Amino acid sequence: MLKSMQMKKGLLIIMSGPSGVGKGEIRKKVMEDESLKLWFSVSMTTRSIRPGEENGREYFFVSKEEFKKTLHEGGLLESNQYVNNYYGTPKAKVEEMREKGYNVMLEIDVNGAEQVMKTIGKENVVSIFILPPSMEELETRIRGRSTESEEIIQKRLAKARKELPFKKDYRYHVINDSLERCAEEIKSIIKKESQNL
Ligand code: ADP
Ligand code: 5GP
């Protein structure tokens, strides 16, 4: 019997960008394209679930104790504290899915991205930074989502201003002006990078 061709390992894609820039919406659009063979890494978080979110789909919503336990057992590829809550990427599945040939997408903040780039090597990560058309538009989007209190909105906006300079560490910069256009640009990046494997 012929030995089957060795499976190509999938890409590790990191998508970052300030809160409210549209990462969640972009990801949903991009994931609709099954030809990209994408697998979204569902993070763990201690923040409260928002209306419309589902445990296990957007995040695994866990208690602070459960989060810390997983962290101390070495179960996270990276983790960070972001505006009063913890976020982290469960490690085991990422490698497993890449080995199966899936292009794994992490939607994580700049601090987490820095950790992954250090561990795996910047050149081995397809890093994409999503930019808002303007800071005014970013504020409009965070407010339009109506999911956070005024205090948290202010903290997220302050965080966004600090995060933007980190775009220099990313291979690609994509502006989320129109959702459709932005999603198309990201799909083209993934297709191009898949061919480079
Ligand atoms: P993030 O995941 O980056 O925090 P979301 O995906 O929750 O952001 O988007 C924040 C808000 O902005 C949502 O209400 C979303 O519908 C809206 N939004 C996303 N992309 C666009 C766009 N291109 N134009 C206008 N509004 C957008
Ligand atoms: P949100 O609460 O708006 O869903 O996410 C807040 C921030 O946390 C965003 O910048 C998002 O990309 C980031 N984030 C989500 N999951 C993770 C994760 O697993 N690790 C890290 N470091 N950041 C994450």
Cβ of 112 less than 6 Å from ligand 2: yes
Protein residue with least CA distance to atom 24, ligand 2: 108
Report yes or no on 7 lying in a domain: no
Protein residue with least CA distance to atom 22, ligand 2: 112
Report yes or no on 137 lying in a domain: yes
Q: Which domain holds residue 54?
A: 12-195
What separation in Å is there between the alpha carbon of 73 and the centre of ligand 1? 35
Alpha-helical (H) ranges within 32-178 are 64-72, 91-99, 110-120, 135-145, 150-163
Report yes or no on 16 lying in a domain: yes
In the structure, what pLDDT confidence band is assigned to residue 4 with cuts at 50, 70 and 90? low
Q: Which of 14, 42, 145 best tests ligand 1's pocket when mutated (most atoms within 8 Å of CB)?
A: 145
Global confidence as pTM: 0.94
Protein residue with least CA distance to atom 18, ligand 1: 22
Report yes or no on 32 lying in a domain: yes
CATH label of the domain that carries residue 95: 3.40.50.300
In the structure, what pLDDT confidence band is assigned to residue 148 with cuts at 50, 70 and 90? confident
Report yes or no on 1 lying in a domain: no
Average pLDDT (44-61) is 95
- What are the residues facing 173 on neighbouring strands? 129
Q: Number of folded domains in the chain?
A: 1
Nearest to 23, CA basis, from 59, 76, 47: 59
